[in-house]
Amino acid sequence: MATKFDPIRDLDRFFSEVTRTPNTAALPMDLYREGEVFVARIDMPGVDPASIDVDVQDRTLTVRAERTANTSTQDIKWLTRERPTGTFARQLTLGNRIALDQISADYTDGVLLLTIPVAEEARPRKISVAHNQGTDRSTTVTTDLGTSTGTDSGTSGTGTSV
């Protein structure tokens, strides 16, 4: 039986082996924000959970894992071998407003779930504004950060994101 020749895949495999650069295409990912956390779901079927490595350095989160071929016997004659093997990696560049010390990872049913919380100081919050009227009266106005606020003179300003 003839084997299909794919020059692009073979060239990609050659350079991956020569340069030892991990293949990111084998780790498809969904990334979204849900409330006050970012969630990354990375497909990693067939990966040994002990081989998964997640680290953060200089605001770059790197996920590495290894998938090995099933070579239980030396007498294997492959008919088709389409499942990639080797070391795979994905990298995410994290912003300044991420709680790096609270990132969590869970591997279930071939999917790595990363929960990346927004830092407390980056979350929206209410700010109380003290407003003094004369010498003996004081009121407090609570506004949302980033919304318009009014004053007694009837002028209004627009909030600025910080």
Q: For each of the domains in the chain, give its residue range(s) and CATH number, in order of start.
A: 28-68+77-121 (2.60.40.790), 124-157 (no CATH)
Q: Would residue 104 be called left, alpha or beta, if left means φ above 0 and alpha means ψ between -120 and 50 degrees? A: beta
CA distance 85 to 88: 8
Cα 46–chain centre separation = 21
Dihedral sign for Cα 18, 19, 22, 25, please: negative
User: Above 80 in pLDDT, residue 12?
Assistant: no
Q: What is the pLDDT of residues 93-113, one digit of tens each?
A: 998 889 999 999 999 999 999
Is pTM, for the whole model, over 0.85?
no
Check: CB of residue 98 under 8 Å from CB of residue 111.
Answer: no
